[in-house]
Amino acid sequence: MAELSPALKQATPVLAARGEGIYLYDEQDRRYLDFTAGIGVTSTGHCHPRVVEAAQRQVGTLIHGQYTTVMHRPLLELTERLGEVLPTGLDRLFYVNSGSEAVEAAVRLARQATGRQNIVALQGGFHGRTMGAGALTSSGTKVRAGIGPMMPGVVFTPFPEPYRHRCSEAEAVRFALAEFDQLLVTVSAPRDTAAIIVEPVLGEGGYLPAPPEFLTGLRERADRHGILLIVDEVQTGVGRTGRFWGHDHAGLRPDILITAKGLASGFPISAIAAPEQLMSQAWPGSQGGTYGGNAVAAAAAIATLDVVRDEKLVENAAEQGQRLRDGLRGVAAQHPVIGDVRGLGLMLANEFTAPDGTPDAATAARAHAAAAERGLLLLTCGPHGNVVRMIPPLIVSADQVDEAVGLWGEAV
Q: Is 346 in the site for ligand PLP (CB under 6 A)?
A: no
Least distance (Å) from ligand PLP to the CB of residue 300? 15
Concatenate the DSSP letters of all residues of 323-377 into one string: HHHHHHHHHHHH-TTEEEEEEETTEEEEEEB-TTSSB-HHHHHHHHHHHHHTTEE
Q: Which of 207, 193, 204, 209 is closest to 247 using CA atoms?
A: 209
- Which residues ranging from 10 to 39 are in contact with ligand PLP (CB under 6 A)? 39
Q: Is 127 in the site for ligand PLP (CB under 6 A)?
A: yes
Least distance (Å) from ligand PLP to the CB of residue 126? 5
Cis peptide before 355 (omega within 30 of 0): no
Least distance (Å) from ligand PLP to the CB of residue 399? 28
Phi, psi angle pair for 56, to nearest 5°? -60, -45
- For ligand PLP, give the closer residue by CB, 7 or 185: 7
Please state, in angstroms and rounded to a whole number, the distance separating the CA atoms of residues 77 and 79.
5
Binding residue (CB under 6 A) for ligand PLP from 124, 128, 211, 392: 128
What CA dihedral angle connects 307, 265, 366 and 363, to 10 degrees?
Answer: -80
Helix or strand (DSSP H, E) at 16: strand 16-20
Q: Is 207 in the site for ligand PLP (CB under 6 A)?
A: no
- Which residues ranging from 218 to 257 are in contact with ligand PLP (CB under 6 A)? 232, 234-235
Q: Which of 346, 339, 356 is closest to 395 using CA atoms?
A: 346
3-state secondary structure of 319: helix
Q: Would you say how long the chain is, in residues? A: 412
Rounded alpha-carbon distances, angstroms, from residue 314 to 32, 43, 104, 256, 267:
24, 10, 28, 22, 20
Q: Is 260 in the site for ligand PLP (CB under 6 A)?
A: yes
Binding residue (CB under 6 A) for ligand PLP from 126, 159, 267, 408: 126
- For ligand PLP, give the closer residue by CB, 24 or 106: 106
Q: Is 78 in the site for ligand PLP (CB under 6 A)?
A: no
Binding residue (CB under 6 A) for ligand PLP from 36, 44, 79, 98: 98
- For ligand PLP, give the closer residue by CB, 127 or 219: 127
Mark the segment that binds ligand PLP (CB under 6 A) among 79-87, 197-205, 212-220, 242-250.
197-205
Please state, in angstroms and rounded to a whole number, the distance separating the CA atoms of residues 137 and 124.
7
Binding residue (CB under 6 A) for ligand PLP from 34, 104, 161, 199: 199
Q: Is 304 in the site for ligand PLP (CB under 6 A)?
A: no
- Which residues ranging from 41 to 60 are in contact with ligand PLP (CB under 6 A)? none
Q: Is 103 in the site for ligand PLP (CB under 6 A)?
A: yes
Binding residue (CB under 6 A) for ligand PLP from 38, 203, 254, 345: 203
Please state, in angstroms and rounded to a whole number, the distance separating the CA atoms of residues 7 and 194.
36
Please state, in angstroms and rounded to a whole number, the distance separating the CA atoms of residues 124 and 383.
7
Residues forming contacts to ligand PLP in the complex (CB under 6 A) are: 39, 98-100, 103, 126-128, 199, 203-204, 232, 234-235, 260
